[in-house]
Amino acid sequence: MTLSTLPTVKRFSHLIGGKAVSSAEYFRSHNSSKLSDVLGEFPIATLEQVREACLTAREAFKTWGKTPAPIRGEIIGQIGTALTREKENLSQLLSREMGKTLKEARGDVQEAIDTCHFFQSEGRRLYGQTVPSEMANKELKTYRRPLGVVGMVTAGNFPVAVPSWKIIPALVTGNTIVWKPSEDAPLTSYAFAKLLEEGGLPSGVLNVVFGMGGGSTGEHLVNMMDESLLGKFAFTGSTAVGRQIGAIAGRNLLHPTLELGGKNPLVVMRDADLENAVSGALWASFGTAGQRCTSAGNILLDAPIYDQFKAMFLERVKNIRIGNPLEFEDVLYGPFINERFLKTWLEHVEWGHADGATLLYGGAQVTAEHKPSGFQGDPAAGPYGWPTVWEAQKGMKIFQTEVFGPTINLVKVDGIQDALEVSNSVEYGLSSAIYTNNREWAYAFQEGIQAGMTSINNSTTGAEAHMPFGGVKGSGNGTRESGIWVLDGYTYWHGVNDDVSGKLQLAQMDTQYLEPRGEFKVSDL
């Protein structure tokens, strides 16, 4: 499949068992930068259709789970080849649908390609172990086994990269999938799914059901755990919804993968290279219009450099270029993914004022009458927000709560220990960063921070396909995406006890432990 062969009709279907399946109700996807541009209509799956998808995946598991892992790996490699061929087309589509810049969109797709390259070889490296037994003529060994059908719900801010973190390792380990993509990027998700199919996946191994979250397709899929139709659930989204999924998984004795929100600290110490720190902070705060779970939430500034950093940072913020990324290549960020995100983001302005935070810049929707000097194009075409900077303090709602938009708080701290205490005072623990040239401070930070990921002299954002991604506290349940660590999320360990002695041997009871040869005391010499 090439993207040029996508149906010209703007109505798309679920993908269940290799067949196109329609529904009675549909929703529309729009170009984020030009809301009048309708990209397509997508079906909303019913409870019965979600159940059908799970049963289809269960049937496909009987064969896929027994397919040799190196063969599954080769299919992953073929998926990577298809994604590489379509990288530019898919990136253009992604940018058009959810609004991130083309540079970021290309990185989004490249992350999926890198994930395919990594896990293709894991098909030949799903190692178990042989373990020495305490009994003669007995062999112990372990195997990784797939969990079965995996239900997946993903977010729209990374509509290719994040699903690939779940789908690719789940496939290479022998699981089958029912995936509910974000309603915020359904066309990109559809194109990605068709490229996955092109790689050679048998029918029923990957099933895609479209729709909304609560009260709709997403909730139906979550409830399949209570019907014993899923062996695993993987979710990227808010902490509140993650807790609900975790509760349902818990009563079914499943261990879900939960990649949740963040309020990530970026610390700048008194000895830091301020030019580098300002550049890193600008990107961490406003890349993807702040719509990343790893975006910086609070910039913690060491007291001696607070005023200097603030002046440098605000100067850069006031010169940010914003606009439609498909029309203007030099913009730092584009629109919100949709108007719902803008509306939610605007609520935080009221929090800030109510808490007594000081608004230094921004804090409003971009309009024709009220727009930053760096805005390009027509602000009425899509939902845009001003880059927004607050002075805040520990404990404020705006300090504690994930905002998910182009907003950052400046917070004054005094020294490394104060920076750590303030950093750890939020409920989240996803990403973190520190700018310093003092190795003792850098070490103290990486040892003391409560986060799943830490950067030293770099941004809070950014992930590589061979490194673990995930958080602690309110940001996750200890599971990890990417790298070899994700394999534990999609497999269970099977221990095999192979006794060839021809008789019953009882560990611990029939073991021939050697008796000590007698006590020797050095004092007797």
Q: Helices in 199-255 by DSSP H: which ranges?
A: 217-223, 239-251
Which tokens is 118 given? 């990594």
φ, ψ at 186 (rounded to 5°) = -70, -35
* CA angle at 107 for the pair 101 and 111, rounded to the nearest 5°: 145
Q: Is 355 helix (H, G, I), strand (E, B) or coil?
A: helix
Annotation marks residue 293 as catalytic = yes
Q: How many Å apart are CA 484 and CA 497, to the nearest integer?
A: 26
Q: How many Å apart are CA 215 and CA 211, to the nearest integer?
A: 10
Q: How many Å apart are CA 407 and CA 333, to the nearest integer?
A: 13
Report yes or no: 172 and 69 within 8 Å, Cβ to Cβ: yes
Which is it for strands 388-391 and 407-413: parallel, antiparallel or unpaired? parallel
- Whole-angstrom CA distances from 472 to 158, 258, 284, 479 are 21, 10, 20, 9
Annotation marks residue 54 as catalytic = no
Q: Which residues share a beta bridge with 79? A: none
Given the structure tokens 């921070």, which residue do they identify?
Answer: 449
Q: For residue 359, what are the contacts with CB-CB under 8 A and spacing of at least 6? A: 349, 352, 353, 388, 389, 390
Given the structure tokens 């993908």, which residue do they identify?
Answer: 15
Q: How many Å apart are CA 95 and CA 502, to the nearest integer?
A: 65
DSSP states of 277-289: HHHHHHHHHHGGG
- Whole-angstrom CA distances from 82 to 103, 112, 438 are 20, 11, 46
Question: Per the residue annotation, which of 54, 293, 402, 481 is the catalytic one?
Answer: 293
**Kind and range of the H or E run holding 61:** helix 47-64
Question: Per the residue annotation, which of 197, 259, 402, 481 is the catalytic one?
Answer: 259
What are the catalytic residues?
259, 293
